[in-house]
Amino acid sequence: MSGEKTAGDIMVPIDDYCTVSEDATLHEAIKVLRSSFHRDKRAWYGHRSVVVLGRGGELVGILSLRDILKAAGLRQEDDDPDFKAESWGWYYVNRLRTQAKIRVRDIMRPLAVATVNDGDSVAEVALALLKHRVNSLPVLKKGRLVGMVRTLDVFMVVGEYFK
């Protein structure tokens, strides 16, 4: 891919990305993501994930649409006799439901999974996305969160590779 472009060149700045507290409920996170979909009066403009911030405002994880769908699938497990037979599974689902509401921290992807640096090449970003099987990665500059890079951002410059 282009050796000239970096993660910092193609990322979405963090100020333009959705964020939510790790203490937020799943319902609150869904509302934040939904509100981004119609931002700037464009249909489906929004992102497919939300950045999760800790109590001190530090990056602690990512919550993706896939994570939300998995959490919503927990309700289907109520009718699965094999799942009910596993005491740990039944305990886990009941615990999530009975202890307040599902919190973002319970289902998010921890930051430790993967990040890229703002100076990483687009090729390095693409490899990290593939290696970690994710659709977005936090971009760090000197250890500080500055943006998010998505598969779409990489796709938009991949044509340069074939020139």
Write down the domain spans for the chain: 7-162
What pLDDT is attached to residue 2? 41
CATH architecture label of 7-162: Roll (3.10)
- pTM passes above 0.75: no
- Label each residue of the chain as H, E or C: CCCCCEHHHHCEEHHHCCEEECCCEHHHHHHHHHHHHCHHHCCCCCCCEEEEECCCCCEEEEEEHHHHHHHHHHHHHHHCHHHHHCHHHHHHHHHHHHCCCCEHHHHCEEHHHCCEECCCEHHHHHHHHHHHCCCEEEEEECCEEEEEEEHHHHHHHHHHHHC
Q: What is the mean pLDDT of residues 141-162?
A: 87
Question: Per-residue pLDDT tens for 38-49?
Answer: 665 655 566 788
- Report whether pLDDT(67) > 90: no
